[in-house]
Chains A and B, each alone.
Chain A
Amino acid sequence: MEELFRYFVVFAILAAPTYAIAASGLVVTYTTTGIFNFAHGAIGMIIAFCYWQITSSAAWDLPVPIGLVLCLLVIAPALGWLLDRLLMRRLAGASTITTIVATIGLLFALVSLADLIWPSGTGVRSVEKLFAGSTFEVVGVTVEYHDAVALGAAIAVAVGLRALLFGTRLGTAMRAVVDSRELAALNGADPNRVSSVAWMLGCSLAGLAGILLAPDLTLTSIALTLVVIQAYAVAMVGRLRSLPLTFLGALILAEVNSLFDYIPLKVELSGTVDQAFSDLGSATPILMLLVVLVVMRQDKAALRPENIRFRVPRPSMSRVAATMGGLIAVCALISVTDIVSANTVDELGKGLALGIVILSLVLLTGWAGQVSLAQLALSGIAALAVWKMGPYGLLVGVVVTAVVGAVVALPALRMRSLYLALTTMAFALLLERVVYGNNTLFPEFLPFATGSASAERFALIESDEAFFVFLAVVFGAVALGLTAIRNGHFGRRLAAMKDSPSACATLGLDLTVTKLQVFALSAAIAGLGGGLLAMWKSSSVGLTDYALLEGGALAGLPLVLVAVIGGITSVTGALLGAVLLVGMPMFGRWYGALRTPMSLAPGLAGIGLAQNPDGVVRQVGEAIEEARARADVVAEPFETPETLGTDGRIGAADASRLDDELGLSWGR
């Protein structure tokens, strides 16, 4: 009985505050600006690093109170203000996909930044708990001052936010802005000021959570960034809106964690079951996020058109065929000559395989308007199949990936973009942690988890040279196939689904089937890419190749980023995205001076280009079209689908603005 009390009352109450603080920051920024900040954890991470820098005896060794004041009252608000001015304010009214990509870009930029300033190879950093080690006792339980401070902080945050939102003019404005920015502005609220305050507050709360969480983790950029999944799960309990429910969510998560700690103590579990149980326990936030997302009642107005604003070009079959023919020719040339070093060919091959995964995003996100952050994780299924079953396992892998893709889509059928993104992200993490990861549930996958799995190639094309060309051929075939689909009946159905669900209904089109089909097809294509990636690498295949964020350049979130940067609405854009994906780190390696900008580039580009999610290919296409329109008076806008659907309407001012953004986002 006393033990029950200890686990489910004391421990839970002491664990909940950090979750609550992290999640309330997320809720404050989401409700006042409509932007779900995927980088919330990354911001907390940066602030925690700053705190380490200021207070650690290995760094500046200043007193803790100075560190806290500097971090929470100076650095974090300054960062929030800056983010608001540079990024968030410009995202007001943007499509959900845009905000997702932009904040993921921010996440990635912050992680790269932390790795630059505090390289992971330079020793283990640890943040000390507040009042290091001091404890006191409550009803027979030893409590650390650190945890008591966290509890106090959470209560202060709750009371403070309540007072701010309901007791001040600014708070009223913050709540009003949620409902209608314009209306609030008409009534004297200053949306820009509200937005600034929200982001400053959000960053401080993220920082506080980061500092409180850091002692329990080794201070690495990724670990702290992903801890925010807990905040996602908790905030989702309050449907991203209600602060009281968010605090309740924090308590629920803490209780669930206690449950996973408590059961093994009480129930005699055999070794492997025990291990499996504790592995599952480490995934509780992800499980909770999934459960909450799936169970939670979605917005009733599922037919309300969402803001998915980007123009989708109408690809021309002959243009795509020519491009892909050129690609195959170049790849053939590379493979028969020595003009490119073996290392570079190795990277390019990875690019082609990952390019196929990006193509799956062109279909799913670009054309059907459905967001997925799980494509790369899904593609790992096919890699497992190839590893376990040999080259012809690829077929099995593709089929299984398609089925899993459709299953993931099932709860997502009526979800809006943001929830879809979160669900697919949670699913990717679940695959990563529980299935692929070093896990006793699937002990046979251990070599995959440690990155030592292998994959055989088809007998006929076993050599690197032949397989490289084969990759290019497959990429070209998929690109052509997708183009045919885009220009056919299914493509029209996808466009219709993206552009107007209501009109679809009045044409008798039931979107359920279409959505399942596109998720399955897209997953199958991703699986093809993932399986081929494994075959191309042929050895040391494993989790890091298919992880969401871990593992450097070849990872899920950057994949989505470069897909969008390249241009998520066209197959040519996917090719460019693939080139960027492998090209940027390569440039960094070749030219030392470029290493810093290149490691920051994906994140910065994601932030910058998110404001015009049509991607580079379209921007370049528009610039060319603009130039052509100026040079050539006889423009035939309707007869030139090759111009990626532009109609020459974009003004000179627009074009130069786009160019500016392009320049800015690349950090020149």
Chain B
Amino acid sequence: MPDAPLLELRDVVVRFGGNVAVDRASMAIESGRITGLIGPNGAGKTTAFNVITGLQRPSSGLVLWDGTDISRVSAPRRARLGMGRTFQRLELFGSLSVAENVLLACELCRRQGGDARPPAITVGGEADRGAPGAVAETAALLEHLGLGDVAATRAEDLPTGLARLVELARALATRPRLLLLDEPASGLDESETARFAGLLEELAGRGLGVLLVEHDVPLVMRLASLVYVLDLGAVLAHGTPAEVQADQRVVDAYLGAAPVSEAP
């Protein structure tokens, strides 16, 4: 299926007891694009992430990867397919240093044969193919994300903004084809956010599929080529940023009366 999207959710439902956290949600995420996922708190964004990465089994519905059903594939196996993610509530390995966090991901990626995929960033200026060692790739990632100065710091001692970047570096170290980012910009200051935006565009430019959950709606509208709006677990609307912002239901449910006028 050459035309199948990188990842597709088809009519996914997640129930926690009587509560429906995700309600027949369908989405498609393409390679080489940034897809935005927005919605009010409790809309089911993180649950959707957990369904995609396999941490949460859907009550019904399908998760497709390159057109293949992976609904029953375990989380570690999905990661080996090339899914990297960050967490809204940070999940760094606190007792390891920043460098060790990233190095472990590099090492695991190599052991699992993930080094057949190209590195997420250029390492050492050479050709992208698997050549660099895990240590060199770690160093390059840290350098690229501006984490070189804190490489030896214990991850649990980092401020939130830097910790989010380390989670991103660790996810990139798995050489993902799909990158799932759960509120990566919260805790970043303005210049960090700008830099982060540039990085995401660069990654998408290299062919990565990116799914971005973010409360900074202007940022999402600026970066994403396709936006899904979740409300009460269901996809309320989807389309280009302009279409979504014009959608009255979205304005009512989420964006409110004064929408983000400065967005392009």
Using a CB–CB cutoff of 8 Å, the interface residues on chain A facing chain B are 303, 305, 311-312, 314, 489, 492-493, 495-496, 498-500, 502-510, 638-639, 645, 647, 649
A502 to B153, CA, bound (A): 22
Bound-state CA distance A314–B152 (Å) is 11
List, in ascending order, chain B residues with CB within 8 A of A639's CB. Answer: 152
Q: Is B174's CB under 8 angstroms from A492's CB?
A: no
Q: Are B92 and A503 in contact (CB under 8 A)?
A: yes
Among B93, B108, B154, point to the contact of A508 (Cβ < 8 A): B108
- The smallest C-beta distance from A317 to any residue of chain B, in angstroms, reads 15
| The residue from A496, A499, A647 contacting B157, defined by CB atoms under 8 A apart | A647
Q: In the bound complex, do residue B92 and residue A489 qualify as a contact, i.e. CB atoms below 8 Å apart?
A: no
Which of B30-38, B97-105, B188-196, B207-215 contacts its partner?
B97-105
Residues of chain B in range 166-216 having any CB-CB distance to chain A below 8 Å: 170-171, 174
The answer to whether B79 and A492 touch across the interface, beta carbons within 8 angstroms, is no
Question: Quick one: CB contact mask for B94-122 with A, threshold 8 Å, 1 for yes?
Answer: 11110010011101110010100000000
Q: Which chain B residues (73-87) contact chain A, with CB distance < 8 Å? A: 74-77, 79-80, 83-85, 87
Q: B157, A508: Cβ atoms under 8 Å?
A: no
Identify A505's interface contact among B75, B93, B104, B114, CB under 8 A: B75
Contact B85 A508 (CB under 8 A): no
- A5 CB to closest chain B CB, in angstroms? 44
Using Cβ atoms and an 8 Å threshold, which residues of chain B touch A493? 104
* Interface pair A492/B103, CB less than 8 Å apart: yes
Q: Which of A496, A505, A638, A649 contacts B76 (CB 8 A)?
A: A505
Please determine whether A503 and B87 come into contact, CB atoms closer than 8 angstroms: yes
The smallest C-beta distance from B82 to any residue of chain A, in angstroms, reads 9
Measured between beta carbons, the chain A residues less than 8 angstroms from B174 are: 507-508
Residues of B within 8 Å of A503, CB to CB, are 87, 91-93, 170
Name B114's closest neighbour in chain A (CB-CB): A508
Q: Are B104 and A492 in contact (CB under 8 A)?
A: yes
Contact, CB under 8 Å: B75 / A492 = no
Q: List 8 A-B contacts (CB under 8 A).
A: A314-B154, A495-B96, A496-B96, A505-B75, A506-B53, A506-B85, A508-B76, A508-B79
Least CB distance from A314 to B in Å reads 7
**Which residues of A lie under 8 Å from residue B154 when comparing CB positions?**
311, 314, 645, 647
In angstroms, how far is the closest chain A Cβ from the Cβ of B172? 12
Known: A495-B93, A499-B92, A500-B92. A506 touches B107 (CB 8 A): no
Q: Does B54 contact A (CB under 8 A)?
A: yes
The residue that B104 contacts in the complex, of A312, A502, A507, with Cβ under 8 A, is A507
- Ranked nearest first, the 8 interchain pairs of A and B with the lowest CB-CB distance are A508-B79, A505-B75, A503-B91, A508-B80, A312-B95, A499-B93, A500-B91, A638-B152
Nearest residue (CB) in B for A508 is: B79
B4: Cβ under 8 A from any A Cβ:
no
Closest to B112 in A: A508
Q: Would A499 and B153 count as touching, CB distance under 8 A?
A: no
CB atoms of A506 and B93 under 8 A apart: no
Interfacial residues of chain B within 41-97, with CB under 8 A of chain A in the complex: 53-55, 74-77, 79-80, 83-85, 87, 91-97
- With both beta carbons as reference points, the residue of chain A lying nearest to B174 in the complex is identified as A507
Q: Known pairs A311-B95, A499-B95, A505-B76; list 9 more (Cβ under 8 Å).
A: A311-B154, A495-B93, A496-B93, A496-B96, A500-B92, A503-B92, A506-B84, A508-B76, A510-B74
Docked-complex contact B104 and A508, CB < 8 angstroms: no
Contacts of B92 in A (CB 8 A): 499-500, 503
Chain B residues positioned under 8 Å from A496 (CB to CB): 93, 96, 104
Evaluate contact between B157 and A649: CB separation under 8 angstroms.
yes
Please name the residue on chain B nearest to A569 by beta carbon.
Answer: B95
* Cross-chain contact A492 with B54 (CB below 8 angstroms): no
Among B234-256, those with CB < 8 Å from A are: none
Question: Do B55 and A502 touch (CB < 8 A)?
Answer: yes
Assess the B100–A492 pair: CB atoms within 8 A: yes
Cβ–Cβ contact B114 & A502, under 8 A: no
Bound Cα distance from A49 to B83, whole angstroms: 62
Instruction: Please tell me if the beta carbons of B107 and A492 are within 8 angstroms of each other in the complex.
Output: yes
